[in-house]
Amino acid sequence: MSMKPRIGVGLALMLCPALAVAEVHTKQVLVGYKCMMLAQQWDGEGPVPPPVPVYNGPGPGSAQVGIAGGTVIVPVSGAPVGGRISMVFPDGRKVWIDASQIVPWRAKADPTAACRPVLLSNGRYGTDGGY
SS (HEC) of the chain: CCHHHHHHHHHHHHHHHHHCCCCCCEEEECCCEEEEEECCCCCCCCCCCCCCEEECCCCCCCCEEEECCCEEEEECCCCCECCEEEEECCCCCEEEEEHHHEEECCCCCCCCCCCEEEEECCCCEEEECCC
Residue 94 backbone class (left: φ over 0; alpha: ψ -120 to 50; beta: rest): beta
The tens digit of pLDDT for each residue in 86-123 reads: 999 999 999 999 999 999 999 888 889 999 999 999 99
What's the predicted TM-score (pTM) here? Answer: 0.78
Residue 4 has pLDDT above 70, yes or no: no
Name the band, by pLDDT with cuts 50, 70 and 90, for residue 15: very low
Q: Is the pLDDT of residue 19 over 70?
A: no
Distances (CA, A) of 81 to 15, 21, 59, 111, 126: 52, 40, 8, 30, 24
